[in-house]
Structure 1
Amino acid sequence: MTMKRIHWITVNSFLGCVAWAAALQLSIPTPARVAVLLAPLLLLVAFGMYMFLLLVYGAVTFRSCPEEARALHADICRARNDLLGRGYRFDKELQAGHSHNE
């Protein structure tokens, strides 16, 4: 996070707290006062829902790259074979899993 963004968030949070505290000092009807009291909680819930939906959207629109996956798998196989050539011994489970994936 950049310092400019941190500064913006801090200043706006402070101003929001000042506005909320000032609204609490007003003599307003009970339903409006309850809404003012619950405003921070409602904002927090709304922010959480926004972040959740942003995460879901990112997961749904995530691009798969089969070419890159194949290239990565080939790199792993080359590195594994190089290690085997240098005398490294893998666990039996890894050997079974590796031969199964090829």
Structure 2
Amino acid sequence: MLDRWGLRPDGPTAHGVVGLAPPVLCADGRPAALKLRPVDEETAGEPLALRAWSGRGAVRLLDHEPASGSKLLERLDPAPSLLAVPDDLVALRVIAEPPAELT
């Protein structure tokens, strides 16, 4: 997938029980994450959901390889945190409210 999408590794790989998420740099230098996880009933709809959310409340899906389930995702910046929002209800709305096109 690195070769297919012209990616370069950019740090230590994060992992879960069944998947890997190496940080990468796109050919244009943009930071991203490559999510590698087998397709199953839990993950089959993930690309569709990420496209629908389009970066509002979830990471943006940059590319997807359906056969392998590989996803190229925007890499989030951990600096802006909802902990910095002084009003808890405002922070909760950021998490809870779906984009208008999903309601």
Q: Tell which has more relative contact order, 1 or 2 (C-alpha 8 A, sep 6+).
A: 2
User: Which one has a larger percent helix, Structure 1 or Structure 2?
Assistant: 1
TM-score where L is the length of structure 2 = 0.23
Larger radius of gyration: 1
- Give me the TM-score of the superposition, normalised by structure 1: 0.23
